[in-house]
Amino acid sequence: MALLEVEDLRVSFATEDGELEAVRGLSFSLDAGQTLAIVGESGSGKSVATQTMVGLTAGARISGTARFDGADLLTMRAGALRRLRGKEIGFVFQDPLTSLHPQYRVGWQLAEVLQAHGSVSSSAARARAIELLTHVGISQPDRRVDDYPHQLSGGMRQRVMIAMAMALDPRLLIADEPTTALDVTVQAQVLELMKRLQAEHGSALIIITHDLGVVADMADIVLVMYAGRAVEVADRRTLYYRSHHPYTLGLLASVPLAAGHGAGERLVPIAGAPPSLLSLPAGCSFHPRCPFVMDVCTTTRPELEPVPGGTGVAHTSACHLPAQALGPGAEATALRREAVHAGRSAGGPAEAVAGPVTDAADAALGQPA
Ligand code: SF4
- Pocket probe mutation, ligand 1, options 231, 232, 289, 320, max atoms within 8 Å of Cβ: 320
Query: Distance from the CA of 358 to the center of ligand 1, in angstroms?
Result: 19
**What value does the mean pLDDT of the chain take?**
88
| Burial zone of 278 (CB within 10 Å; 0-12 exposed, 13-18 middle, 19+ buried) | exposed
The stretch 282-293 carries a mean pLDDT of 95
Topology of the domain covering 4-219 = Rossmann fold (3.40.50)
Written as one string, the DSSP assignment of 31-53 is: -TT-EEEEE-STTSSHHHHHHHH
Q: What is the pLDDT of residue 360?
A: 55
Q: What percent of the chain has pLDDT over 70?
A: 93
Bridging pattern class, strands 35-39 and 204-209 = parallel
| Burial zone of 16 (CB within 10 Å; 0-12 exposed, 13-18 middle, 19+ buried) | exposed
Q: How far apart are CA 58 and CA 13, in angstroms?
A: 10
Query: Distance from the CA of 296 to the center of ligand 1, in angstroms?
Result: 9
Q: What is the pLDDT of residue 33?
A: 92
Residue of 367 and 243 predicted with greater confidence: 243
Backbone φ and ψ of 64, nearest 5° = 100, -170
Task: Using the predicted structure, report yes or no on whether residue 328 has a pLDDT greater than 90.
Answer: no
Query: Distance from the CA of 227 to the center of ligand 1, in angstroms?
Result: 13
Q: How far apart are CA 129 and CA 109, in angstroms?
A: 9
Q: How far apart are CA 295 and CA 348, in angstroms?
A: 7
pLDDT tens-digit map of 288-305: 999 999 999 999 999 999
Ligand 1 atom at minimal distance to the Cα of residue 298? 8
Residue of 219 and 358 predicted with greater confidence: 219
- Pocket probe mutation, ligand 1, options 292, 326, 337, max atoms within 8 Å of Cβ: 292
pLDDT tens-digit map of 202-251: 899 999 988 888 888 889 999 999 999 999 999 999 998 899 999 999 99
Query: Distance from the CA of 11 to the center of ligand 1, in angstroms?
Result: 24
Written as one string, the DSSP assignment of 210-234 is: S-HHHHHHH-SEEEEEETTEEEEEE
Query: Distance from the CA of 194 to the center of ligand 1, in angstroms?
Result: 36
- Pocket probe mutation, ligand 1, options 285, 321, 353, 365, max atoms within 8 Å of Cβ: 321
Task: Using the predicted structure, report yes or no on whether residue 73 has a pLDDT greater than 90.
Answer: yes
User: How confident is residue 358, by pLDDT bands cut at 50, 70 and 90?
Assistant: low
Contact indicator for 26, 49 with CB cutoff of 8 Å? yes
Which of 154-158, 164-168, 297-301 holds the top average pLDDT?
297-301
Q: What is the pLDDT of residue 45?
A: 93
Task: Using the predicted structure, report yes or no on whether residue 351 has a pLDDT greater than 50.
Answer: yes
Sorted by where each begins, the domain ranges of the chain are: 4-219, 248-259+266-364
